[in-house]
Amino acid sequence: MMMTPQEIKDTQAWRPMGLKDEEYEKICQILDRLPNYTELGMYAVLWSEHCSYKHSRPLFKHFPTQGDCILVGPGENAGAVDIGDGLAIVMKVESHNHPSYVEPYEGAATGVGGILRDIFTMGARPIASLNSLRFGNPKDEYVRYLVRGVVAGIGDYGNATGVPTVAGEISFDESYQGNCLVNAMSVGLVRHDSITKATASGVGNPVMVVGSTTGRDGIHGATFASAEFSEENEEKRPSVQVGDPFTEKLLIEACLELIASGVVVGIQDMGAAGLTSSSSEMASNAGSGIEMDLTLVPQREEGMSAYEIMLSESQERMLVIPKAGAEEQVKEIFAKRGLLAVVVGKVTDDGMLRLFHHGELAAEVPAKSLTTDGAPSYVPPAEKPQYLEKLWGYDFDELPDLEHSKIQDTFLQLLGFSNIASRRWVWEQYDQMAQLGTIVGPGSDAGVLRIPGTKRGIALTIDCNGRYCYQNPKRGAALAVAEAARNIYASGAKPLAITDGLNLGSPERPQIYWQLKETVFGLAEACRALGTPVVGGNVSLYNETAGEAIFPTPVVGMLGVFEDVQKHATISFKNEGDLIFLVGENRNELSGSEYLKVCHDLVAGPGPKLDLETEKRNGEFCHTIISDGLVSSCHDLSEGGLAIGLAECALAGEIGAQVKLYCPGRTDSLLFGETQARFVISLSEENAESVRALAEERGVPLSLLGRVGGDKFTVEIGETRVIDGELTQISELWNSGLERLLGEKSGA
């Protein structure tokens, strides 16, 4: 039996739910009485960090959210961006970190399912998925278990729903040892006039639960996602939802048919906080109220309480507000797919969320008080972390340069390293071609999709370097935006907008809150400079175990658009005899590089330098020469630096390259430094003069590096050949590197 309101007060039962003492007092003030157990649980989940963003919300005002192409910005289920011809792309990033650490397969799978529902809730058909994954040391057996489970969960759920996974990233660092990150991004296509919002308007309109039944899985999942890990938390498997992708596929089709019918007033998925969030948010958005009889909610388990029904996060469920009189039409649309559609209540005009259970009043609270409109917000103290002083003060002159005789071995070591080796083992588990819209799938800088019925196309990427953000949160966050933009530019598209996922530790620690603030400032600055507004996203805090926080990891998902998708580029060298050029300048810098970490076990300096004007100028140059058909390939340089970037182009194209470099500074920084705003391009000799002339006109540095061709990858510095590898041999090392590290290939 549930506690009485007085027993709740006497035992301080709100604390295990994640509520602060002052938050409980605020609830009492809002209600002008003591809350009952169901009401307390509802406030606990919706006032959690995961749902209310109570520590991050005050910072969102710094984000640029407006632009000519922005149709729907932050505040809805997902953002909507105009791509021309009356069409829009709907997109969002969502995290499922804690559930994936506890139950990797279901945690990752339901993360994909949840973000898909955010998309088709807007009336958009999901056309692509991406993901951004972070794990600890791949030599650790539990980390290997996590990787296998997460990748399989993403693949199985996405494949079953028929939504292609077209791009993504995976990275490893000890920072994520006790707290993996699983960020899922979904993208949908919709006509402007079909965009649907989460609103419960029209007094007397019915409230309907559609889709699957409600069980006890996922109760307090939102609260679980808003707490630090402990041994107890790791045992909270009931907080992890269980997904059914085949039901989700049916739900997509039913919801899209329903929206197309014109009878929908509002629709909302039941994700974090389940029926509590969907009902209160829809009522709050409309300034209305909702009354429901919870005994009518289809249940898969006997004897469920009002508390359990409201807090369940069972998957593949939606809350629908149709026009009065359309109830049978709604039921028919769902019934022909074997799905439930049940009237459970009605829209009211008093602003209250009123719940009955077996004829008794189970809860009665102001709807707005549950949502971000009523949730508390905090601006805790911020303190610059002391570790930065040591990092920034490192003298790189003390680091010995790389000897020529060791370059070959160093190159091979990096090429097979977990953060650089081919991700083929991962993306081969994903369906990349479902719906037949994918032109460029995983393995290039960005996924590229055609837009049916038009010449248009889109480019998609998701990026972040957590180490850069640890070394300098503001710069690192800006660099995440810059790298995403480079990936879009390198594909031949024009960057339009971003959706972000902010993954950090506990904001109640001053040093972490400082990281959060700086991260937001960096994202905002880069987005303004590059013209890519923020259309929405997710914040996942409390990513730490035993007081050890992850690297601040602001994942950036970016959308780009093609006027003509046939004018796209990939990273692959293609033609014998093509010339290879470097766009941009090499700087004598090693800070934040994989080379420094792998070869010297050193994290030092403030990370690579950032010049946003240069990023935009060099990126737009590449966009132009690709659109004009002047290049055979284009690849942005990131982890591993120039030598690794060149090798990736050769390996992707299965054709050799001969490169000759000159070294005015350090050899290691020339080959493996991660100077930003750089691209490698290849082009025919006949196009060289046109490209050189345009580069000079725009003030873009352009340097000849070598030629494409043969079956070897070679690099000379001056007159010394420092890298000399048969393409087949280095291909085997690169393609099998991740599998070996994860124990998926013999010899591991």
> Which residues belong to the active site?
50, 96
84 membership: H or E segment, kind and range: strand 79-84
Joined together, the tokens standing for residue 347 give 């829209």
> Angle CA(93)–CA(315)–CA(105) in degrees, nearest 5?
70
Is residue 389 packed enough to be buried (19+ CB in 10 Å), middle (13-18) or exposed (0-12)? exposed
Amino acid found at 653: G
Strands, sheet with 79-84, edge to edge from the N-terminal-most edge strand: 70-72, 79-84, 87-95, 181-191, 125-135, 165-172
165 backbone dihedrals φ, ψ, rounded to 5°: -95, 110
Residue the block writes with tokens 């759920």: 157
Residue the block writes with tokens 């809150």: 513
Handedness of CA 322, 326, 332, 333 (dihedral sign): negative
351 backbone dihedrals φ, ψ, rounded to 5°: 75, 5
Q: What single DSSP character describes residue 444?
A: B
Look at residue 612 and give its three-state secondary structure.
Answer: helix
| Rounded distance between C-alpha atoms, residue 345 and residue 366, angstroms | 16
Residue the block writes with tokens 């290039």: 444
Q: CB-side exposure of 281: number of CA atoms within 13 Å? A: 27
> Angle CA(355)–CA(356)–CA(362) in degrees, nearest 5?
75
DSSP letter string, 290-358: EEEEGGGS-BSSTT--HHHHHH---SSEEEEEEPTT-HHHHHHHHHTTT-EEEEEEEEESSSEEEEEET
Q: Give the other-Cβ count within 10 Å of 62's Cβ.
A: 15
| Rounded distance between C-alpha atoms, residue 507 and residue 549, angstroms | 10
Contacts of 152 (CB under 8 A, 6+ apart): 105, 108, 429
Spatial contact of 261 and 322, defined as CB atoms under 8 Å apart: no
Contacts of 241 (CB under 8 A, 6+ apart): 99, 106, 110, 217, 218, 221, 313, 314, 315
Residues in the chain: 748
Checking DSSP bridges between strand 712-717 and strand 720-726, what pairing results, if any? Answer: antiparallel
